[in-house]
Amino acid sequence: MNFSALGLWFSYFLRCKGPNRIHSPFIYDLYFHHILERRPYYAFVGLRKLRAQLLADERVLEGNDWGAGEFRTRKVSHIAARALQPEREAELLFRLVLFFRPKTIIELGSSLGLTTLYLHNARPSATLHTFEGHSGTAQFARRLFEQNGAAEIMLHEGPFAETLPELLFGGLKPDWVLLDGDHRYGPLLQYMNMLKPHLTENSVVVVDDIRWSSGMWKAWKQLCDDPFWELKLDIGKMGILIRRKAQTPQHFILRYPN
């Protein structure tokens, strides 16, 4: 973690608030009963076992990395150690999908596919599209979906800037989105601008690693300034943008305890 990220985290801990400072019934319910919840849901045991298997998997994945523009070799265990969503945050994403009950989910950044399975298990009836830029990793994730009874998940392989518009211009209307595939200021805003015309009046976008770097933080702040979103929730590692026309526009910085 660099110096600027440390400063952003220090500022967060000074400013974040607990449930006693929330006056919106909708946000209180979301925060107290879902974000802070620690209930061991039915799917968590199997997904934890799968996480352990990935962390111990010594297979090597080879393929083109469309994001980096080069051929790369990666070991599954190394990807798992560096790129898997931490268990606590993966379970939070599961609970967020449970709460919002989306019909169509988009995930930018499949990686090995574990987080994708959390999203799928939370809402098996939803149509789920996930995107991955490394061809070897994408093939691995497809096999993982099939082995875990989730072959209906649709994985799009290639550069996000090409694969995402192709899907959206086909008429897709996502109502729940996870942006976790490119931690740079420009591309993050580019993908959001692609998505916005296709979102519904009740769409939710989760932006991961908003304090990853000064660029990610700058992008998050710019998104929060956009009146397109009625509700903006900062919970430390993640930011949540919510369209909710009946809601007075508000920005919350909420404590998410370790």
For residue 90, the enclosing domain spans 3-39+85-253
Q: Give the number of other Cβ atoms within 10 Å of residue 160's Cβ.
A: 22
Question: What pLDDT score was predicted for residue 1?
Answer: 55
Q: What residues form DSSP beta bridges with 74? A: 61
Q: Provide the token pair at 62.
A: 């080879």
Question: What pLDDT score was predicted for residue 18?
Answer: 80
Structure confidence by residue, pLDDT tens digits, 234-256: 999 999 999 998 888 999 999 99
Residue 77 lies in a domain: no
Q: Could you tell me the CATH number of the domain that includes residue 24?
A: 3.40.50.150
- Region for 161 from its dihedrals, namely left if φ exceeds 0, alpha if ψ lies in -120 to 50, beta otherwise: alpha
The total domain count for the chain is 1
Overall average pLDDT of the 33-46 stretch: 93
Residue 46 lies in a domain: no
Overall average pLDDT of the 213-236 stretch: 96
C-alpha span between 33 and 209 (Å, rounded): 23
Q: Give the number of other Cβ atoms within 10 Å of residue 13's Cβ.
A: 9
Measure the CA dihedral 38/213/117/119, to 10°: 60
Instruction: With CA atoms as reference, report the closest residue to 59 among 70, 48, 74.
Output: 74
Structure confidence by residue, pLDDT tens digits, 83-97: 999 999 999 999 999
Question: What pLDDT score was predicted for residue 67?
Answer: 55
Q: Work out the mean pLDDT of the chain and round it to a whole number.
A: 93
Instruction: With CA atoms as reference, report the closest residue to 239 among 192, 169, 170.
Output: 192
- CA 48 → CA 54, 176, 180, distances in Å? 10, 24, 20
Residue 67 lies in a domain: no
For 84, residues 6+ apart whose C-beta sits below 8 A from its C-beta are 51, 54, 55, 90, 111, 112, 114, 115
